[in-house]
């Protein structure tokens, strides 16, 4: 187990690489548990069970009663092992200014509670708190190269606790943590990208929008028509992503002027139009076929252009929409737009069905046209009109 944070790891992190980290990770046999050497700060605490060497029970009790802890620390096994580099490499401990925390008689307060039984265990600092931060030396300041710098405010034993033969210890840290200024980071990152010609070329290549063409810019549909719109990727190596939206719908009035546009349905498509597919990928040198289909649609509007409508009547006006084929590359959000005008010509369909102006009146018999209904002022006029229609 390695507690030491090597300087190579700090330099690697500063340079934005992870080779040193990957090297250290490979030394851990337990998958999913990071190496302690990767951490910016490590705190290790517990009953380490280190004792005092070269001192008797009575001598230790005398030094404790006189609070001569400096001389006792010279006999501390843990301190000697750490200075020799045998254990807890790279870790530190605050100066001990409290009495040894082992071994005490239970439920007996004060320094008089040390073990006085047959074994008379020599008092020792078994309970310890060790730590390590990002510093490679004690004088390092907090920075991106040394992101965590800690200091000790308090390191003491809880001598009033009597429920155990150990006295617990506690340590209060203050920790300075380096923070990255995102605005400066973005600025420096932009300067790096702008100064590196290779990166600039790669970015320009990835931001390119593949060249695409559409088969037509105008589509005229009649009832139940289905036409194919083809979009071709003329690129040789880059794929093209496409999406088809509708800018809105215009209704063509009698004077052939378009009314205001309004988006309806998913992707803004009107309910009388079906487009499939609306999104997809075009491989280099390939063409995608998009089906543009007209579907009969009835309206529940009570008035259309000021003319009263029956419930669920067919909307017999010419309609026009603008399809927007948005094409972008695989690595950019910018798009190139192709606009395709799609018009449903109801008037042309009507002329095909009614070649002569009076044919509908002859074929439909007693069916009343909207214009005829408007001219009738009463029920008597309607009866007279029906009689005239049936007379030869």
Whether the Cβ atoms of residue 242 and residue 288 lie closer than 8 Å to each other = yes
Q: Between residues 10 and 107, which one has the greater pLDDT? A: 107
95 in the same domain as 192 = no
92 in the same domain as 128 = yes
Q: 329, 245, 247, 235: which is closest to 281 by C-alpha?
A: 329
For residue 318, CA distances in Å to 53, 301, 372 come to 103, 16, 22
Range of the domain at 132: 40-177
Q: Is residue 379 part of a domain?
A: no
Task: Mention every residue, 6+ apart, whose C-beta is less than 8 A from residue 75.
Answer: 52, 53, 54, 55
State how far the Cα of 281 lies from the Cα of 216, in Å rounded to an integer.
Answer: 20
Q: Is residue 44 part of a domain?
A: yes
User: How much is the pTM?
Assistant: 0.47
338 in the same domain as 221 = yes
Does the structure show a pLDDT above 60 at 304?
Answer: no
CATH number of the domain at 71, please: 3.60.10.10
347 in the same domain as 217 = yes
Q: What is the pLDDT of residue 109?
A: 82
pLDDT in tens, 126-157: 999 999 999 888 778 898 889 999 999 999 99
Q: Is residue 19 part of a domain?
A: no
At residue 300, the 3 state secondary structure works out as coil
Quickly tell me which residue has 């200014």 as its tokens. 97
Q: Is residue 29 part of a domain?
A: no
pLDDT in tens, 243-252: 999 887 776 6
Does the structure show a pLDDT above 90 at 92?
Answer: yes
Q: What is the pLDDT of residue 233?
A: 94
140 in the same domain as 238 = no
Quickly tell me which residue has 């005008």 as its tokens. 341
Quickly tell me which residue has 């020599």 as its tokens. 122
Whether the Cβ atoms of residue 70 and residue 36 lie closer than 8 Å to each other = no
pLDDT in tens, 214-272: 999 999 988 888 999 999 999 888 899 999 998 877 766 555 555 554 545 555 788 88
Q: What is the pLDDT of residue 17?
A: 34
166 in the same domain as 94 = yes
Last residue of a domain, one of 177, 195, 220: 177
With b for 16 or more beta-carbon neighbours within 10 A and e for fewer, the 296-320 pattern comes to: eeebeeeeeeeeebeeeeebebbbb
CATH number of the domain at 277, please: 2.60.40.10
State how far the Cα of 272 lies from the Cα of 315, in Å rounded to an integer.
Answer: 10
State how far the Cα of 72 lies from the Cα of 383, in Å rounded to an integer.
Answer: 126
With b for 16 or more beta-carbon neighbours within 10 A and e for fewer, the 350-360 pattern comes to: eeeeeeeeeee
Average pLDDT over residues 156-172: 94
Q: Is residue 8 part of a domain?
A: no
Give the count of domains, the chain: 3
344 in the same domain as 241 = yes
340 in the same domain as 216 = yes
Q: Is residue 388 part of a domain?
A: no
Last residue of a domain, one of 160, 177, 194: 177
Q: What is the pLDDT of residue 189?
A: 86
């Amino acid at each position: 187990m390695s507690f030491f944070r090597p300087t190579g790891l700090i330099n690697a992190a500063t340079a934005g690489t992870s080779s040193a980290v990957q090297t250290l990770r490979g030394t851990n046999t337990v998958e999913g548990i990071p190496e302690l050497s990767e951490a910016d700060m490590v705190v290790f605490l517990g009953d380490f069970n280190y004792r005092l060497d070269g001192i008797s029970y009575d001598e230790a009790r005398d030094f404790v009663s006189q609070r001569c802890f400096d001389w006792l620390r010279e006999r501390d096994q843990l301190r000697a092992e750490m200075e020799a580099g045998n254990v807890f490499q790279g870790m530190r401990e605050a100066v001990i200014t409290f009495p040894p925390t082992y071994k005490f008689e239970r439920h007996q307060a004060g320094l008089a509670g040390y073990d006085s039984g047959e074994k008379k265990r020599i008092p020792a600092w078994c309970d310890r708190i060790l730590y390590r931060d990002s510093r490679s030396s004690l004088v390092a300041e907090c920075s991106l190269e040394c992101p965590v710098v800690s200091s000790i405010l308090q390191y003491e034993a809880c001598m009033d606790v009597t429920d155990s033969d150990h006295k617990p210890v506690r340590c209060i840290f203050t920790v300075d943590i380096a923070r990255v200024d995102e605005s400066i980071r973005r600025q420096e990152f932009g300067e790096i990208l702008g100064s590196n010609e290779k990166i600039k070329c790669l970015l320009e290549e990835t931001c390119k929008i593949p060249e695409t063409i559409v088969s037509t810019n105008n589509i005229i549909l009649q009832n139940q028509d289905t036409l194919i719109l083809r979009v071709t990727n003329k690129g040789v190596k880059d794929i093209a992503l496409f999406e088809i939206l509708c800018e809105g719908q215009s209704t063509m009035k009698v004077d052939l002027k378009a009314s205001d546009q309004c988006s309806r349905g998913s992707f803004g498509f009107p309910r009388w139009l079906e487009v499939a597919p609306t999104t997809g990928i075009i491989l280099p040198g390939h063409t995608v076929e998009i089906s543009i289909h007209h579907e009969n649609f009835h309206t529940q509007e009570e008035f259309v252009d000021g003319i009263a409508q029956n419930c669920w009547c067919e909307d017999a006006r010419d309609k026009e929409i603008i399809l927007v084929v948005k094409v972008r590359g695989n690595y950019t959000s910018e798009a190139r737009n192709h606009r395709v005008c799609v018009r449903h010509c109801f008037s042309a369909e009507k002329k095909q069905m009614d070649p002569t102006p009076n044919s509908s009146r002859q074929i439909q018999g007693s069916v009343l046209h909207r214009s005829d209904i408007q001219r009738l002022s009463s029920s008597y006029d309607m009866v007279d009109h029906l009689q005239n229609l049936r007379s030869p």
